[in-house]
């Protein structure tokens, strides 16, 4: 179909701009100029911004195939009735998988069953792998753990006199699976000398051969009266190379991935009185508005989108992809890739580079670990600043919600989908509304912020959110920049 003369003229001006700045247009780039929306965007940029970097134009003419994405693992099982036996099978499946990880540790290769230890009436060394069933202090303030495996239960005693070991044991939570080495008392108890977490191995910090960026967002909360419209529009303008410092605009030109990790909308009926805090009171309207906003993201940028606890979705984890019935406008966006929560996505696998695996998890379990793990609670950080510590804690446990009560979950008798089976290159999460960055054993830990201002609920809970900010990961250097879209750069 022939383009209108005004569009053809604008297209010609874009080509002239590229030639003047010695930008080579490939056949694919020229074909992309058939998109009238893209032509309008580029024409506005080159005619209104004299400082526009040519690389910004090049990026928008780059096809999304230059930034490949594949879903490595995703849970999308069919709903069905669950019975008590499903819970039993679920915990057995978790035990088998994590025990297998633990047995790769040299210290635990001689581990035996609890039943065999209990049957031994002589004192001597013993090593076991089991689930933490109970945890209590004795009268003399030693820590008594009840450890269980499929063959039985045993008391494991940690002396308060072993300060480092005691602190390690004090951080244990119910239902996590650990290895223990110690001395069998011969009378149904084990005196603990060492505790082993399943943990992740040390790995080399993987780096992409070329410069490209991934942006991480969560908790946008479209539909809330507290949604930060101006900050979000600055974010969109930055992606188009129309906002930020020259260095920041240069980064924008090489953004290929945008992760949106849950709570895209504020939802309906999430908490008492929420209706008074909503600009869009209908869930369909919220998703339609979210689609309108994210349709402004340049089409060469892949949007990897997963659900959270505010989305029109079941709360129980793992959560499947957003339901099309509610979120069809988002499904219809050509550059959106839907995943469940959690998921593992491989990005930037090309030219012999295997890509990077990104574990995304919204983070509904994080609130519990902020308070029940002593070393995290007493870290000296505000509860909103503890997320990197929580993420490190969960990697050490190889599970996204080891304690039974830390999240609602669907018991799958075949496997536990919340086990961190594959060690990712990047672990990204949201939920807490405060950005943060850390590294642990070669894994980049990225906590996403929000585009919602501080709510009354957060005020009551003592949370200090960090709205309007976004972590930007350079895949080539693995350095993270946190950009602030609240004010002029």
Please check whether residue 392 lies inside any domain of the structure. yes
Structure confidence by residue, pLDDT tens digits, 322-335: 999 999 999 999 99
Residue 358 or 272, more confident: 358
Structure confidence by residue, pLDDT tens digits, 286-307: 999 999 999 999 999 999 999 9
Residue 218 or 25, more confident: 218
Residue 253 or 7, more confident: 253
pLDDT of residue 1: 47
Place of tokens 């070329």: 210
- 239 shares its domain with 351: yes
pLDDT of residue 331: 96
Place of tokens 């400082």: 51
Q: Can you tell me the distance from the alpha carbon of 400 to that of 279, in angstroms, rounded to the nearest whole number? A: 33
Does 54 score more than 90 pLDDT? no
- 163 shares its domain with 37: no
Does 135 score more than 90 pLDDT? yes
Residue 376 or 24, more confident: 376
pLDDT band of residue 236 (cuts 50, 70, 90) is very high
- 318 shares its domain with 445: yes
Residues 389-393 have a mean pLDDT of 97
Does 411 score more than 90 pLDDT? no
Give me the residues paired with residue 157 across strands.
144, 191
- 173 shares its domain with 231: no
Please check whether residue 83 lies inside any domain of the structure. no
Residues 233-241 have a mean pLDDT of 94
Average pLDDT, the chain: 91
pLDDT of residue 272: 84
Residue 59 or 411, more confident: 411
pLDDT of residue 84: 78
- 262 shares its domain with 116: no
pLDDT band of residue 474 (cuts 50, 70, 90) is very high
Does 384 score more than 60 pLDDT? yes
Does 5 score more than 90 pLDDT? no
Structure tokens at 93: 């499946």
Please check whether residue 90 lies inside any domain of the structure. no
The boundaries of the domain holding residue 403 are 66-78+202-484
Structure confidence by residue, pLDDT tens digits, 82-130: 887 888 888 999 999 999 999 999 999 999 999 999 999 889 999 999 9
- 279 shares its domain with 135: no
Please check whether residue 57 lies inside any domain of the structure. no
Does 28 score more than 50 pLDDT? yes
Please check whether residue 88 lies inside any domain of the structure. no
Closest listed residue to residue 31, CA positions, set 13, 11, 57, 54: 11
Residues 415-434 have a mean pLDDT of 94
Residues 353-361 have a mean pLDDT of 96
Give me the residues paired with residue 178 across strands.
130
Please check whether residue 89 lies inside any domain of the structure. no
Q: Can you tell me the distance from the alpha carbon of 387 to that of 204, in angstroms, rounded to the nearest whole number? A: 23
pLDDT band of residue 192 (cuts 50, 70, 90) is very high
- 424 shares its domain with 361: yes
């Amino acid at each position: 179909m022939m383009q209108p003369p005004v569009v053809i003229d604008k297209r010609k001006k874009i080509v002239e701009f590229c030639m003047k700045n010695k930008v080579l247009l490939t056949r694919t780039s020229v074909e992309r100029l058939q998109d009238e929306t893209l032509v309008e965007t580029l024409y506005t940029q080159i005619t209104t911004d004299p400082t526009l970097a040519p690389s910004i134009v090049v990026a928008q003419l780059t096809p999304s195939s230059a930034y490949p994405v594949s879903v490595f693992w995703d849970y999308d099982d069919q709903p069905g009735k669950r019975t008590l036996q499903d819970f039993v099978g679920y915990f057995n499946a978790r035990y088998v998988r994590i025990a297998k990880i633990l047995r790769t540790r040299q210290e635990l290769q001689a581990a035996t069953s609890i039943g065999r230890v209990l049957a031994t009436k002589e004192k001597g060394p013993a090593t076991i792998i089991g689930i933490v069933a109970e945890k209590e202090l004795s009268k003399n303030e030693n820590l008594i753990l009840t450890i269980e495996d499929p063959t039985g239960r045993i008391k494991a005693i940690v002396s308060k006199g072993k300060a480092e070991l005691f602190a390690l044991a004090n951080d244990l939570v119910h239902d996590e699976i650990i290895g223990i080495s110690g001395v069998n008392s011969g009378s149904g108890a084990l005196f603990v000398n060492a505790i082993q977490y399943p943990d992740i191995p040390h790995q080399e910090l993987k780096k992409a051969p070329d410069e490209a960026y991934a942006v991480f967002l969560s908790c946008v909360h479209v539909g809330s009266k507290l949604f930060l419209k101006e900050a979000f529009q600055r974010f969109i303008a930055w992606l188009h190379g129309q906002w930020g410092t020259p260095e920041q605009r240069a980064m924008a030109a090489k953004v290929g991935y945008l992760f949106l990790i849950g709570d895209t909308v504020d939802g309906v009926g999430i908490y008492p009185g929420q209706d008074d805090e909503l600009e869009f009171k209908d869930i369909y309207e919220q998703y339609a508005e979210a689609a309108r906003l994210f349709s402004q993201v340049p089409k060469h940028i892949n949007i990897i989108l997963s659900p959270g606890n505010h989305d029109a979705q079941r709360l129980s984890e793992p959560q499947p992809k957003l339901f099309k019935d509610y979120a069809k406008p988002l499904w219809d966006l050509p550059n959106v890739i839907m995943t469940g929560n959690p998921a593992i996505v491989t990005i930037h696998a090309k030219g012999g580079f295997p890509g990077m695996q990104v574990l995304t998890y919204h983070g509904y379990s994080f609130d519990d670990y902020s308070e029940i793990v002593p070393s995290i609670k007493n870290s000296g950080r505000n509860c909103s600043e503890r997320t990197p510590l929580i993420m490190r804690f969960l990697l050490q446990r190889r599970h996204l919600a080891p304690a039974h009560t830390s999240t609602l979950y669907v018991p799958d008798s075949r496997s536990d989908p919340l086990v961190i089976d594959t060690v990712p290159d990047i672990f990204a999460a949201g939920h807490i509304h405060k950005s943060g960055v850390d590294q642990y054993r070669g894994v980049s830990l990225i906590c996403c912020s929000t585009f919602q201002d501080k709510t009354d609920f957060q005020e009551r809970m003592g949370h200090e959110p960090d709205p309007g900010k976004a972590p930007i990961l350079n895949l080539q250097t693995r350095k993270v920049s946190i950009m602030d879209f609240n004010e002029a750069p």
